[in-house]
Amino acid sequence: MVGTANNGRLRLAFSLVNGSQDLDLSSAPASNAGSECGGIEFTREDVEALVNEKMKYKNKFNYKERCENMMEYIKRLRLCIKWFQELEGEYAFEQEKLRNALELTERRCSEMEVALNNKEEELNLIILELRKSLASLQDKLAKEESEKKAAVDSLTKEKEARTGIERSQASLSEELEKVQGELDGANQRIASINDMYKLLQEYNSSLQLYNSKLQTDLDTAHETIKRGEKERSAIVENLHTLRGQHKSLQDQLMSSIASQDEVMKQKDALLNEVACLRMELHQTLEDREHYQQQVQSLAAEVSKYKELATNSSELEEKCLSQGNQIQILHDQLAVAERKLQMSDMSIFETRNEFEGQKKLIEELQNRLEDAEFKLIEGEKLRKKLHNTILELKGNIRVFCRVRPQLPDDSSSNQAKVFSYPTSMEYLGRGIDMTQNAQKHSFTFDKVFMPDASQEEVFVEISQLVQSALDGYKVCIFAYGQTGSGKTYTMMGKPGQPDEKGLIPRSLEQIFQTKQALQPQGWRYEMQVSMLEIYNETIRDLLSTNKDASRIENGVAGKQYTIKHDANGNTQVSDLTIVDVQSSREVKYLLDRAAHSRSVGKTQMNEQSSRSHFVFTMRITGVNESTEQQVQGVLNLIDLAGSERLSKSGSTGDRLKETQAINKSLSSLADVIFALAKKEDHVPFRNSKLTYLLQPCLGGDSKTLMFVNISPEPSSAGESLCSLRFAARVNACEIGTPRRQLNMRTSESRLSYG
C-alpha cells in the first residue's frame, strides 16, 4: 500500500524519518492535525530503505546502544505502519463519502422524476382543457360557417327573385307599349268604344300600381342584399378573430412543450453526474486493490530476505541481527494480521447485521402484505355487512325532508302544521302533521327537520352510494310537490360549496373512493349519461345535435326507445354516453345538462322543473390482484313536482306540462300500490318514467326515495298526499339486491337498472 502522494498532503524528506531525531505530533502540518503521522508520506523507495537499513554500532557488545537504536527503528516502523493504516482509513472514508453523495444524487434524481411526473400531469390537464376549448371553438366555427352558408343561400334566392321581377317588369313594359300602339291606331273609333277605353284606362292604372309595387319590392330586395353583405363581413371578422385565438392557443401549447423539454434536459444532466460519480467510485476501488497487491509483494520480499539470511554463512552475525529484526517485523506483521482479522470480524459482524436488517425488512414486508390482505378481507367483510344491513332495512327506503321557511312564504307558524316526536322509538324517524285539528302520524327510515344541512343529509346516503362501487344497482329519487326543495336536495345551489346537493357530493365520494382503492388493486371505468322526460318524451341532455334535442309542438326531434334485457338492465337507444375520469368533468356535464333542461315559471315556483331529470353513472371495476370484476349503476333522479291546477294557474304549454307530470306521477303511484299489494300485473308501461325505472322499482336494485315537504299551511293538503304516498312506498317489498360479479361486457350502452 505504498505509492505517490495524493490529496494535497505535504511530503517531508525521508531524512527526517531516518534521522535520529524523534517525530512529534506537534510537528505535523495544521491541515493534518488529527493524524498521528503528521504530514509524512512514504514511497516504495522509502519503505525499501527502511527495511534494508543496517544497524551500525560503535561497540558490538554495547547492548544499551543496540536497544536504543532498535527502539528508534521500531518507532519508525510503527510510524510507517500507522501511515498505511491512516491511508486505508482515508480511502474508506472517501468511499463512504462517495457512496453518500451517490445516494443523495439518486434521491435528488427520484425527486426530480416525481416533480417531472407532476409537471407532466399538470401539462396533460392543461392540454385536455385546451382540447376542450379547441373543440368548442371548432363547434362555434362550424355553427358560423353553417349560418354563413344559409345567408349565402338566402342571398342567391333573393338574386333569383330580383331577376324574375326584372323580367316581369320588361314584359309588362312591352305589353304597355303594345296597348299604347293599339290606342293610337283606334283613335277614329274612340267614340264608339268609350266603354272599352275606360276599361283599358283602369287596366293601365292597375298595371302602374303593380309596377310601383314591384319597384318597392325591388328596393326591399336591395336593402336585404346590403344587410346580408354586412352580416357576411361581420362573420368574416369573427372568423379572423377565432383563427387568432386558435393560433395563440397553439403558441401556449408549444411553450408548455418547450418547458417540458428543458426539464428533460435537466434530468439528463443529473443522470450524467451520477454516472461520473459511479466511475470515480470504481477507480477508487481499483486503487485499493492495487495497494493490496503491493502489500503482498512486500510480504513476498520479506520472505525472500528471510531465505537469504538462512542460506548465507558468511554473514552470520548480520543474519542474527537481521533475524531479530525480521522477528520484530513478524511480530508487527502478526499484530497487523490480528488487526486485519479484527477488521474482517467487524466486516463480518457488519455483514451479519446487514443480513439481520435484510431479514427484518423481509419480515416487515411479509407483515405488510399480511396487513394488506387482512385489509382487503376486512373491506370485503365491511361490504358484506353493509349490504346485509341495507337488505334488513328494506330494499325501498324512504327519507322525509321538510324544507325551511323561505322569505317569500307566509308568516304563519310552522309548528301548527308539523311536529316531531321526541321519544327514543321515533326520534329522527317520526313526523306528525296536523290538518283541520286532526293529527296524522308517519314513520320513515329517516326524517330531516328544516335545519338539517346538506352535509347531514348526504352522510345518511353515503353508504348507499358506496354500494354502487361494490357492484350493486342503486337508485335515489326525490319526490314532492312543486317548490318543496327536490332540486335543492339533489343539486344544491350553484356557486355555494357548502350547499352542494346529493349528486355533486356523491360524485366527489365516488372519485375519492376510487383513488383510495387503487393501492388494493382496484381500477374503475365510469360512464355518464343524462336525460329528461318531458311531456312523455325522452330528451338527451348531452346531445350535441340541436335538431335531435329540439322539441316542437311537444314532440322531440329524435325518438328514443327503452329496452330491457334478460339481466334486468335497461338501455336507451342512441343516448349520448360520456367516459369520465374526474368529478370536474362530470360537473361540466351537469352544468351543460342544466342549461338544456326544461324549466318554467308558475304561481307556485319561480323556477319550476317541468320534466323528470335522470342522471346515470355506470361503474365497472376490476381488481388486478384478485381478478374480481364488479359492475354497478348509480341512478340519481330529480322528479318534476306535482301540483294542482287551481294553485299553479297553468295555462297553454304549462297546462300540458302539468297534465303530463301529474299523469306520470299517478302512474308511479299505481306501480307502487301494485307492488305493495303484490299483484301479478304491475303497470310499468303506463308511462315512460315507470318503464324506465322498472328495474329500480321491481328488480334487484337498492332504492331510496326522498319525499320533500313544504312547511306552508296552504300546502297542507298536498303535503299529506305526499306523506301517505311515501308511507305506501316504505311498505313495499321488492326483489333482493344482487351484486354483479364477473359481468364485464363490451356493451357501451348504459344500463338504468
For 661-689, the pLDDT digits (tens) are 888 888 888 888 888 788 888 898 889 88
Is the separation of the CB atoms in 549 and 541 below 8 Å? yes
Quote the pLDDT of residue 28.
36
The per-residue pLDDT for 748 is 41
Per-residue pLDDT band at 478 (split at 50, 70, 90):
very high
CA distance 463 to 121: 31
- In SS3 terms, 305-316 reads as HHHHHHHCCCCH
Q: Give the angle subtended at the CA of 128 by the CAs of 521 and 579, to the nearest 5°.
A: 50
Contact 701, 473 (CB under 8 A): yes
Mean local confidence (pLDDT), 52-68: 73
Mean pLDDT along residues 712-717? 86
In the chain, the amino acid numbered 535 is N
pLDDT tens digits, 293-315 = 776 777 777 677 666 656 655 66
Q: Specify which of 53-57, 169-173, 288-292, 549-553 reaches the highest per-range mean pLDDT.
A: 169-173
Per the model's pLDDT, the better-predicted residue between 424 and 33 turns out to be 424
Give tens-digit pLDDT for 169-197.
777 778 777 767 776 766 666 666 566 65
Length of the chain (residues): 753
For residue 43, give the H/E element and its range: none
Give Cβ neighbours of residue 193 (< 8 Å, ≥ 6 apart).
Answer: 186
Q: State the Cα–Cα distance between residues 417 and 711, nearest whole angstrom.
A: 7
The three-state secondary structure class of 740 is coil
d(CA 132, CA 74): 86
Query: Residue 735 CB: number of other CB atoms within 10 A?
Result: 13
Binned at pLDDT 50, 70 and 90, residue 708 comes out as very high
Report the C-alpha gap between 590 and 584 in whole angstroms. 10
pLDDT classification of 15: cutoffs 50, 70, 90:
very low
Model confidence at 49: pLDDT above 50: yes
Closest CA to 445 of 508, 400, 486: 400
Provide the CA 143 distance to its chain's centre, in angstroms: 32
In one-letter notation, the amino acid at residue 714 is S
Rounded CA gap, 323 and 227, in Å?
124
What lies within 8 Å, CB to CB, of 749 at 6+ separation is 571, 572, 575, 577
Q: Residue 428: its pLDDT value, please? A: 86
At 543 the pLDDT is 84
Domains of the chain: residue spans and CATH: 394-405+413-544+561-743 (3.40.850.10)
Q: Residue 17: is its pLDDT beyond 60? A: no
Predicted confidence at residue 502, as pLDDT, reads 93
pLDDT of residue 345: 82
List, as residue ranges, the binding site for ATP. Answer: 480-487
User: 626 in helix, strand or coil?
Assistant: coil
- What is the percent of the chain where pLDDT is above 70? 72
Under the banding of pLDDT at 50, 70 and 90, the label for residue 707 is very high
Across the range 722-744, mean pLDDT stands at 75
Binding residues: 480-487
Mean pLDDT for 691-698 is: 81
Instruction: For 623-634, write each residue's pLDDT tens digit.
Output: 888 888 998 899
Burial class (CB in 10 A: 0-12, 13-18, 19+), 188: exposed
C-alpha cell at 217: 319590392
Helix or strand holding residue 464 (H, E): helix 454-469
Query: 506: burial class by Cβ within 10 Å (0-12, 13-18, 19+)?
Result: buried
**Backbone φ and ψ of 102, nearest 5°:** -65, -45
> What are the pLDDT digits (tens) for 70-125?
888 788 878 888 887 888 788 888 888 888 888 888 888 788 888 878 888 887 88
* pLDDT tens digits, one per residue of 319-355: 677 667 778 877 877 787 787 778 778 788 877 878 8
Q: 482 falls in which pLDDT band (50, 70, 90)?
A: confident
> Which tens digit of pLDDT belongs to each residue from 213-226?
767 777 776 777 77
- Closest to 294 in 3D by CA, of 42, 41, 44: 44
Helix (H) or strand (E) holding 265, with range, is helix 194-311
What gap in Å lies between CA 276 and CA 293, rounded to an integer? 26
Contacts of 107 (CB under 8 A, 6+ apart): none
Closest of 612, 429, 584, 575 to residue 504, by C-alpha: 584
pLDDT of the residue at 19: 40
Each residue of 592-610: pLDDT tens digit?
888 877 665 454 444 556 7
Q: What is the pLDDT of residue 603?
A: 47
Q: Within 13 Å, how many C-alpha atoms sit on residue 10's CB side?
A: 13
Q: What is the pLDDT of residue 14?
A: 37
* Helix, coil or strand: residue 241: helix
* pLDDT beyond 70 at 415: no
Per residue in 529-587, pLDDT (tens digit) is 999 998 888 999 988 876 555 555 545 567 888 888 777 778 888 889 999 999 889 88
Average pLDDT, the chain: 76
Measure Cα distances from 532 to 544, 610, 613, 688 in Å. Answer: 15, 10, 4, 10
With cut-offs at 50, 70 and 90, classify the pLDDT of residue 5: very low
